[in-house]
Amino acid sequence: MAGGLRCPFCFSAGSGSLPLSPAGALVLGCDNGHRVDVNKRGYVSLLPPRTRVVGDSAEMLAARARFFATGAYRPIADAVAAACAAAVSSPPGRIAEIGCGTGYYLEAASAALAAEDILAADLSPAAVRAAVNGVSGAVGVVLDVWQPLPLADASRDVLLSVFAPRNLPEFARVLHTDGCLVAVVPTGNHLREARAAGLALDVPEGKADELALAAEPWFDEEARTEVEFSMTLDDDALGLLIGMGPSAHHGLTADDSSVPAPDRITASVTVLTLRRRSQ
C-alpha cells in the first residue's frame, strides 16, 4: 500500500521527502530507518509527531453513513463522479479524497474513473476505516490536511474535496502536471429551510468564487456545475442530516428550535473542477 507515500518523520525533521516502502509484514519504512505500522484493517497513520487535533466523531460518521444510505445526496455523488471522469483524459486515474469521511463520494468517483489507485485520507481514523471498508480497492491514510501531506510529489491525477478543508499549495504539489482538484462547496441556498428553523449553521454566499480566486496561484478553473434539488425528509433523516455535518459540532438539534422542523430541505452545491497550472 506504500505507493506514493512519503515519510512524515523525515519531512518534519527537515530531511526532505523520502518515500515509504514495505519494510516487513504490515510495516512501512524509509531509508533513514523510520518505521510505521500498517493497521490490519488496511490503513496507516502518518500524522506528524505530536499532532493533537482530532477528526469527526464516530457518531457523526454513523449519521453520515445512515443518511447517505437513504440516497438523498445521490445527485451530488453523481455530479462528483461526472466531474472526476471528465477531468482525466485517459483512465484509469490515480485518485485521492482528502477528507474522505465514509468514502461515499470516493466510491462514486473511483468507479467513474475505473481507478486502480485509490487513496482515502482523513484526520479521523474512524473515517479512514469506514472508507477503506466501503470503497473497493482503497487504501487509507490518517493525516492532517493543514500539515505537509505525507504524499509524494505528482502522485495523483485527481484530488477530491467534498465539504472539506483544502490545503491548496499542498494539493498542487501532490497533483501530477495537468491534474485536477474536484471540490464541492455549498451555495447560499444549501439547507436554507433547516437554517431558517435554527437547525443548521449559516452558509455565506459566493463560496465557489472565493475558492476559485484563492486557488489562482496554483489552479485554473476548468468547469463549474451547480447542483440544486429538494429533499423530502422525515424526522429521522433530518436528524441524521444535521448530525452528520458541522452543525453537529455546535449541538444543534430539532429540540432546540422554536420553529417547526421542515419536511422539505433544499440541497444546493457547486462542483468545481480546478486544473493544476504547469509550473
Global pTM value = 0.91
Of the two residues 143 and 18, the one the predictor is more confident about is: 143
Residue 15 has pLDDT above 60, yes or no: no
**Domains of the chain by start residue, with CATH:** 1-38 (no CATH), 44-276 (3.40.50.150)
pLDDT digits (tens, 9 = 90+) for 217-238: 999 999 999 999 999 999 899 9
CB 85 within 8 A of CB 78: no
Going by C-alpha positions, the residue among 138, 129, 130 that lies closest to residue 109 is: 138
> What whole-number distance in Å separates Cα of residue 182 and Cα of residue 115?
15
Q: Please state the rounded mean pLDDT for residues 252-261.
A: 53
Determine the distance from the C-alpha atom of residue 48 to the mean position of all C-alpha atoms in its chain, rounded to a whole number.
19
Confidence of residue 16 (pLDDT cuts 50, 70, 90): low
Q: Please state the rounded mean pLDDT for residues 201-211.
A: 92
Residue located via cell numbers 451555495: 187
